[in-house]
Structure 1
């Protein structure tokens, strides 16, 4: 699809999301009652669903759009506006034993993420942003010849991740640092390719800005939690 058509599609989707933000903005698990009191039909339908039915609907977003379109016809366009071709994936050879102790869904996400990340022979150091215990970093270090610098602000997670790396002889160096600190900048500047899976709010925005400033060769970011920002408005 030409980029111009993507822009049209993105603009239409944005306009639809803005118009119906009252419908999707309420945070899950944050309300004692359904927050759509002005839509009795919707509340009545939701109240009839048991846990298994809710799970079935969750797994079928296009069918949810069709259901909602009965009350708001404009929402019938959601499947079309969110339909884009799948990215080309390259299978990554990985020792499945590295996934021992990693939640199954998390490991599946890591595999899918790395399958979509472009590889460059010139990459010598990867930056694992907000590393946690370094699940992503261990997969990278085991499947590429490059080193990994894992940046994490929780000391206990750094210690656990470093212990695992040393036990399995993986070229990973953990850095116990606040991602927003000046000290973190030196870690960014020594790397070639920045990786971030589930970088929340300002964390992914800060990485993008600093990686560009450092002139990194590549940035592969999977952001989330766009509402977790210090400002009132998210700035892409």
Structure 2
């Protein structure tokens, strides 16, 4: 079942590769979109109000785009459906558990924990303060082992466990250095809620090697990996993928899978837009002054810079990248060029947004297939609604 679903999505992504496989930041103008000039003309005609409407309601845009891309599937197409396990029942979490956990995170923890219905000892992978493990114990009376890299979070979690008399043992460990593998046992249920990239990849293989009885994972941040290009986990994907036979997935491609940010507030959305605009504006500036056509990648920067002005941001980049030029007195020309590129990027994303979920499913099925190869029975589902978190896909594996 998983291999069949993977193959169908793989074929779909490969067929329409030109509409999602590109680096938006390195573009000047619209992506080639397979030389679909009519589509580019349509995107350029979309005003700001329609842009916001289509960003938040892609199904309204879908019939319009199908005029230019007949093969394009809607985000609600049956090909992308998985079993819905989200629990819409009233919460029965005790009041003492909720202290210090923000609303959506609390809902994620609660709904994830509803999928754990056995009394196997729990191993919580990348546990943070161990909120998930404590709630699973509250529901099922499981003993809990929590592994976490951040020693301070381990200490805080230990205090909470002792305060509420919960049998939860914390171990400080770097899972990427195999320090947590010794805590994986055969008679155990390993759980991980939004462990990023290589962290959950490592758990899949380590649990398989330990023959851990059950594994329940909600993956996140597929692009946080040591590898420059995506390395498939499963033999099936390595050997049969039509997509990877003609394409190497970059970290930029992997970011597309997690680019939906439906839980962001208005202020955070505004800051994200400003950051993209300023990054593109600086790229216009450095190309003009340095006489180059090559995009200059700017690393993560202190977000406090967004509260200043563009010149301060640009000076930070110059110092960070050790560039040898002085800022011009007037930067308005580059800000305008950056704004034009920003508007094009956002309109191109109206198309690429239709490939976020297919690409994420492609990645999740690769993980599920790897667990199958380790001898597990695997189910892929959603554990909560996308308004709670867009990263709502769940992998449940049982021997």
| SS of corresponding position for 1:174 | strand
Shift of 1:218: 0.5
Query: 1: CA distance between counterparts of 2:18 and 2:114?
Result: 36
Query: 2: CA distance between counterparts of 1:110 and 1:165?
Result: 16
Aligned pair 1:193/2:189, yes or no? yes
- In structure 2, the CA distance between the partners of 1:141 and 1:109, relative to structure 1 (3 Å rule), is same
- In structure 2, the CA distance between the partners of 1:130 and 1:182, relative to structure 1 (3 Å rule), is same
Shift of 1:208: 0.9
Shift of 1:196: 0.6
Shift of 1:55: 6.0
Q: Which residue does the alignment assign to 1:179?
A: 175
Query: 2: CA distance between counterparts of 1:185 and 1:217?
Result: 15
Q: Identify which of 211, 223, 230 aligns with 1:215.
A: 211
- In structure 2, the CA distance between the partners of 1:9 and 1:189, relative to structure 1 (3 Å rule), is closer
Q: Is the 8 A contact 1:193 1:218 kept in 2?
A: yes
Query: 1: CA distance between counterparts of 2:209 and 2:67?
Result: 48
TM-score (norm 2): 0.49
Q: Is the 8 A contact 2:54 2:60 kept in 1?
A: no
Query: 1: CA distance between counterparts of 2:42 and 2:124?
Result: 43
Deviation sequence 1:126-185 (CA, Å, 0-9, x none): 011111122212211222211111111111211222222222222211111101234312
Deviation sequence 1:178-217 (CA, Å, 0-9, x none): 0123431211237601001112111111101111111111
- In structure 2, the CA distance between the partners of 1:144 and 1:46, relative to structure 1 (3 Å rule), is farther
Aligned pair 1:147/2:146, yes or no? no
Q: Which residue does the alignment assign to 1:115?
A: 114
TM-score (norm 1): 0.78
What's the Cα RMSD here? 3.2
Aligned pair 1:71/2:68, yes or no? yes
Q: Identify which of 164, 167, 182 aligns with 2:163.
A: 167
Q: Which residue does the alignment assign to 2:97?
A: 98
| SS of corresponding position for 1:73 | coil
Query: 2: CA distance between counterparts of 1:31 and 1:85?
Result: 36
Deviation sequence 1:2-34 (CA, Å, 0-9, x none): x3xx6544322222223334544568xx84989
Q: Identify which of 76, 79, 82 aligns with 1:81.
A: 79
34-43 or 92-101, which deviates more: 34-43
Query: 1: CA distance between counterparts of 2:73 and 2:172?
Result: 48
Query: 2: CA distance between counterparts of 1:46 and 1:34?
Result: 18
Aligned pair 1:158/2:142, yes or no? no
| SS of corresponding position for 1:180 | helix
Query: 1: CA distance between counterparts of 2:112 and 2:28?
Result: 35
Query: 2: CA distance between counterparts of 1:41 and 1:98?
Result: 54
**Corresponding residue pairs, total:** 224
Return the structure number with greater helix share: 2
Q: Between Structure 1 and Structure 2, whose CA radius of gyration is higher? A: 2
Q: Which residue does the alignment assign to 2:252?
A: none
Q: What stretches of structure 2 of length at least 5 have no aligned partner?
A: 34-39, 234-399
150-159 or 81-90, which deviates more: 81-90
Aligned pair 1:128/2:124, yes or no? yes
Q: Is the 8 A contact 2:22 2:31 kept in 1?
A: no
Q: Identify which of 11, 14, 26 aligns with 1:15.
A: 11
- In structure 2, the CA distance between the partners of 1:136 and 1:76, relative to structure 1 (3 Å rule), is same
